Structure 1
Amino acid sequence: MVAMSSYQRPRVPAFAQELDRSIVQMHSLEYRRPAQLPEGGVLVVGAANSGAEIALDMARAGRRVWVSGRSPGQVPFRIEHPLGHRVVMPILIGVIFHHLLTMDTPLGRRARPDFVFKGTPLIRTKRGDLRAAGVTLVPRTQGVSGGKPRLEDGAVLDVASVVWCTGFDLGREWIEPPVFDDEGEPRQVKGVVPDEPGLYFVGPHFLYSASSTMIHGVGRDARRVTETIGRRLRARAA
């Protein structure tokens, strides 16, 4: 059983090494507080939840901040509002993510690529919060020009630091059987690999549902896999 999440190794684009050495680079995994970065402008690459929250934190500390990337969308309510916290979030997490957005429903199958490859919709920090804090929203970072980050529209930013909120690699190279698709995702059904009997997965993002990386979701996935293993062992012993 491969009980690994999808967040194993920080992912940074190859062109990051072309940035001028004077520009401090950091992955979101390392970020704790604004004081970790030098004075000056900050480019946050990645516009999903980590990028949005880090950008807002930096802006509130008085930094000039740019957020680069496509918006993953956002939930249409405030999580900190009593109604959102006590009513909407339980419905979203416990019902929609857990029962509606699954591999057994057409809606879940359509939504899965966005959840896996584009990031979860903004939950706490919204695009409007960033604009209100003075954060500049810009296109994707595409490369480097003259040692500085270059955006998709050709603009080059003069910044002192870059925070990469660009996700993680799966870290599954050690698994030798050819059980992965072109995107590096295991070809599995509810954690069971049909092409490789005896190989199972628990923990990847949207293994079965949008809740598969949450406590209640991963518990359900693990229970289903262990039940399958038990049935197979009993059948073998019979």
Structure 2
Amino acid sequence: MNTHLETIVIGAGQAGLATAYQLKQSGHDCLVLDAGARVGDGWRRQWDSLRLYSPAKHDSLPGMAFPADPWHFPGKDEVADYLETYSREFALPVRLDTRVSRLAAASTGGFRVETDRGDYLADHVVVATGTFGRKPHVPDFAGELDPGILQLHSSAYRRPSQLPDGPVLVVGASHSGFDVAYEVAPDHPTILAGMGHGEIPVPHGSRRFRMAMPVLWFVWGHVINRRTPVGRKEMQEIRFHGGPALRVKVADLEGRGVERVEERVTGVEGGRPVLASGRVVDVATVVWATGFTQDFGWIDVPGVIGEDGWPRELRGVVQDAPGLYFCGLSMQSSFRSMLIGGVGADAAFVAQEIAARSARGLRPARAAA
């Protein structure tokens, strides 16, 4: 038997929870599906020392302030616990241990959501499964490296003690690459390779940072957005290469003896990684801080996913599939979209679109697909 619902939200991270909150506040029912055992598990699986780049004053979801000093930078477990508390505080309808395997159009209208615990029919579906994607990206040539070299994607990195003795090559010069290289450098000769996307030249957490934060927050929302030429130009760079370094800077890496190489790793020679210059790097470990790719193969709705792997949406609304929405994507509306404190605005917009569509008198898809 298929259960019919007005709205299904796929993913119980910050975007999915914020969307559910906004829908509930406007009097609309929904159900949030998540494969995790606990709300916040996506954060709990990150590396031990991970902290947010934004202070707690900018880390709140709608309706509930982050419970910390305004200038504290929360760790991953604090974020996970906050999301779990948020879900419980507002009695959000979250169903855990439920993995979605397919999303398709229902023959009677609306959508069919297939899971490992039964199927659902819904008039609206909000996909909130991650900012940059969940499939770790590693270049094809990684399989040619000597098997004696330990390879880890940044999603599998937890702490320096995981790594064997010997030099470390960190590939990818975005946030995670800078953080990992900085952390492992005291115990390992470390090279950080990759072009990077610049850095914000203010010491993170400093008095100057506090003074600059209101300006940064304004720019991230009102300048680097999809309505401005500069925002549209930055959109692809941010989506595929991440944002500028914020906490760890090049000077910090130099202070710990990290060799910063602004070259890509382009292949393998004799089982060792090779830089674009032809230099062969002899290392014991490679950490691939090369990001993630979107994997929406489970969405079986024509015209939704573009050739670049990203949804064809505008502010989360899919024009070619009425009733289908996304929330929590990088640059969904602005640079803020990928920050916990910014996702609430996107969730509110998506919830308003759902409420408006419901008000137009949609016929529920109650029959089986």
Shorter-chain TM band: over 0.9
Q: 1:115 aligns with which of 227, 238, 246?
A: 238
Name the residue aligned to 2:157.
31
Q: 2:325 aligns with which of 200, 204, 225?
A: 200
Give the residue type in structure 1 aligned to 2:144: E
- Does 2:293 align with 1:169? yes
Name the residue aligned to 2:251.
128
Q: 2:283 aligns with which of 159, 170, 184?
A: 159
Name the residue aligned to 2:46.
none
Q: Match of 1:60, SS?
A: coil
Query: C-alpha root-mean-square deviation of aligned residues, in Å?
Result: 1.5
Name the residue aligned to 2:141.
15
Between the two structures, name the one with larger relative contact order (CA 8 Å, sep ≥ 6): 1
1:222-233 correspondence to structure 2 within 5 Å: 222-233=347-358
Q: Match of 1:142, SS?
A: strand
Does the CA-based 8 Å contact 2:175-2:243 persist in structure 1? yes
Query: Where does the alignment leave 5 or more consecutive residues of structure 2 unmatched?
Result: 1-125, 364-369
Q: 1:101 aligns with which of 203, 224, 229?
A: 224
Cα separation, 2, equivalents of 1:80 and 1:214? 17
Q: Match of 2:356, SS?
A: helix
Does the CA-based 8 Å contact 1:79-1:89 persist in structure 2? no
Cα separation, 2, equivalents of 1:166 and 1:237? 43
Greater C-alpha Rg: 2
> What is the TM-score when the length of structure 1 is the normalising length?
0.94
1:174 is displaced (CA, Å) by: 0.7
1:171 is displaced (CA, Å) by: 2.1
Structure whose residues are more often strand by fraction: 2
1:64 is displaced (CA, Å) by: 0.7
Give the residue type in structure 2 aligned to 1:44: V
Cα separation, 2, equivalents of 1:34 and 1:232? 50
Cα separation, 1, equivalents of 2:214 and 2:155? 27
Does the CA-based 8 Å contact 2:331-2:337 persist in structure 1? yes
**Paired-residue identity, %:** 43
Give the residue type in structure 2 aligned to 1:50: S
Give the residue type in structure 1 aligned to 2:176: S
1:217 is displaced (CA, Å) by: 1.9
1:184-223 correspondence to structure 2 within 5 Å: 184-223=309-348
Structure 1, 173-182 or 147-156: larger mean CA deviation: 173-182
Q: 1:88 aligns with which of 212, 236, 246?
A: 212
Give every structure 1 segment of 4 or more consecutive aligned residues whose post-TM-superposition deviation is greater than 6 Å: none
How many residue pairs get matched? Answer: 235
Does the CA-based 8 Å contact 1:41-1:158 persist in structure 2? yes
- Does 2:196 align with 1:71? yes
Does the CA-based 8 Å contact 2:169-2:193 persist in structure 1? yes
Cα separation, 2, equivalents of 1:129 and 1:105? 33
Give the residue type in structure 1 aligned to 2:282: D
1:131 is displaced (CA, Å) by: 2.1
Does the CA-based 8 Å contact 2:295-2:309 persist in structure 1? no
> What is the TM-score when the length of structure 2 is the normalising length?
0.61
Cα separation, 2, equivalents of 1:127 and 1:147? 29
Q: Deviations over 1:138-179 (max 9, x none)?
A: 211011111111111111111001000000121211112222
Structure 1, 213-222 or 150-159: larger mean CA deviation: 213-222
1:70 is displaced (CA, Å) by: 0.3
Q: Match of 1:178, SS?
A: coil
1:31 is displaced (CA, Å) by: 1.5
1:237 is displaced (CA, Å) by: 5.3
Q: Match of 1:163, SS?
A: strand
Cα separation, 2, equivalents of 1:186 and 1:237? 24
